[in-house]
Amino acid sequence: MEKIEIKLENLKEKITSFYDVDMYRFVSVNAIDLIDSFEIHWVFIDKNYNFKVLYTILSYDRVVPSIKDIVPSAFISEMEIADLFGIDIEDTQKGAFLEPDMVAPLRSKCEKA
């Protein structure tokens, strides 16, 4: 597994530099609540079953860029972490998994999503 720490500002550029639909498959976007911040992982797998994980740590108030313009299937994972963690992802609606006014259940600070 290749795990690469990135700056949020470079996320799309980094994905575009390696992602080819004939070589890689998108697995998921995952979030981990670190109490005062989040760690987010974008997970890909290649044809030889080698994982490539891009990750960053960011504060609660950051807006995360969506990658669905590069990887269309990412919208499902993005909606999930927006609902469950209350993470603000650009152009991503909340309310796919929970009612829009519900508290984000996996967020340690228990603020509204």
Quick: pLDDT tens for 28-71: 999 999 998 999 999 999 999 999 999 999 998 899 999 999 99
CA distance to 24, 37, 47, 49, 75, per residue, from 27 (Å): 9, 23, 13, 11, 12
Domain ranges in the chain are 2-65
For residue 78, count CB atoms less than 10 angstroms from its CB and return exposed for 0-12, middle for 13-18, buried for 19 or more: buried
Give the integer Cα–Cα distance in Å for 37 and 51: 25
For the cut 60, the answer to whether the pLDDT of residue 111 exceeds it is no
CA distance to 2, 3, 92, 95, per residue, from 79 (Å): 25, 23, 6, 8
8 Å CB contact between 104 and 81? no
Give the integer Cα–Cα distance in Å for 53 and 1: 8
For the cut 60, the answer to whether the pLDDT of residue 112 exceeds it is no
Give the integer Cα–Cα distance in Å for 7 and 27: 20
List, for residues 66-92, the tens digit of each pLDDT value: 999 999 999 999 999 999 999 999 998
Instruction: Give the residue-averaged pLDDT of 5-29.
Output: 96
Give the integer Cα–Cα distance in Å for 12 and 35: 26
pTM of this prediction? Answer: 0.90
pLDDT at 101: 80
